[in-house]
Amino acid sequence: MKKSLSWGRFPSFPDDQARISTGVAHLDELSKGGFLVEKTYLVSGMAGTGKTIFALQFLMANLAEGKNSIYVCLNDRPEDIVLTASSLGWDIEPALSQGKLQLLDMSPFFSRFALKSGNKLEPKRNEVSIRKIMVELAKYKQSNSAECLVIDSVNSILLDCKASSESIFARELVRSLEEHLDCTSLLTFDCWDGPGEWSVHPIESYVSGVIDLSIGRKAYQFNRTLSIKKLRATAAEPAAYEFAIKPIEGISILQGNGESGTVLNSGNGQKKKVIDQKKRPNWVREEILEKD
């Protein structure tokens, strides 16, 4: 018996503004249908919290809806992204071969080092220009009419800014993405909680939504938490939800008994149940295929 993934359609939600799926079924319900079309969203968290998986899940769900996509790799190599998808049972090779998904390795574009004589690495400051970034991305968008864009991670772009201009640069990046690319963009952001590090970056002020992923420890167990920090034009309270990363399903919000659907902590500090769904989300199905 062999299991394969079939990405079905997400439920539709009545709304005044067009939305597309976040890739996480329960998050779609909580956000009244998903992300606003052609807006920019941020998924933040420390290493290992599931940001790349969230980004892949966002693209997989929308590829299933016929929306071509671009994944910009700044931390990992494209082959690492393919491997991550494969580890969850997601085959992105057909979308790549058909040109529906483009994996772009743009890390050299933001390199801070250059080879000098004697093969010695010496620091080199690359001047990052919003215009250069948009010109490069526009070329690839035009080639496959992409509607969804992921930049993983945006730290490589933002850290090239001087501290005094960080907020201005972040604002211009978000505005340029929305005004010139006509894509729904998801940016991943690596957080550090070390001494002297800011846990909130100015870019959070300019994006339309912020989803934070974290890992906490209780006794001998580790728990994953998805927090809604911000969703513009959406009647959703800030809240935290426990989740698991499962083969085929990917990120799945859990109940206390391991099933989908309970808020761990809502904005008013009370625990409450908002979703009662004991079966798997209707947009992800496992199909059992008989061997020949």
- pLDDT at residue number 17: 81
- pLDDT at residue number 153: 92
- pLDDT at residue number 225: 95
Which pTM does this prediction carry?
0.80
Question: Can you tell me the mean pLDDT for 62-73?
Answer: 96
d(CA 165, CA 128): 13
d(CA 72, CA 68): 14
d(CA 281, CA 24): 9
- pLDDT at residue number 111: 60
DSSP per-residue codes, 69-106: EEEEESSS-HHHHHHHHHHTT---HHHHHTTSEEEEE-
Reported as a single tens digit per residue, the pLDDT across 109-160 is 766 544 444 555 554 545 567 888 899 999 999 999 999 999 999 988 886 5
pLDDT > 60? residue 3: no
Reported as a single tens digit per residue, the pLDDT across 163-217 is 667 888 899 999 999 999 999 999 999 987 644 444 678 899 999 999 999 999 8
- pLDDT at residue number 197: 44
d(CA 120, CA 185): 38
Q: How far is CA 223 from the centre of its chain?
A: 20
Between 146-155, 232-241, 276-285, the lowest mean confidence (pLDDT) is in: 276-285
Between 43-57, 77-91, 114-128, the lowest mean confidence (pLDDT) is in: 114-128
Architecture of domain 2-289: 3-Layer(aba) Sandwich (3.40)
Higher pLDDT, 153 or 278: 153
pLDDT > 70? residue 21: yes
If pLDDT is split at 50, 70 and 90, which confidence band does 263 have? very low
- pLDDT at residue number 115: 46
Q: What are the structural domain ranges in the chain?
A: 2-289
- pLDDT at residue number 174: 96
- pLDDT at residue number 110: 65
- pLDDT at residue number 10: 56
- pLDDT at residue number 199: 61
HSE-CB at 79 with a 13 A cutoff on CA atoms is 0
Task: Compute the mean pLDDT over every residue in the chain, rounded to the nearest whole number.
Answer: 80
If pLDDT is split at 50, 70 and 90, which confidence band does 40 have? very high
- pLDDT at residue number 151: 97
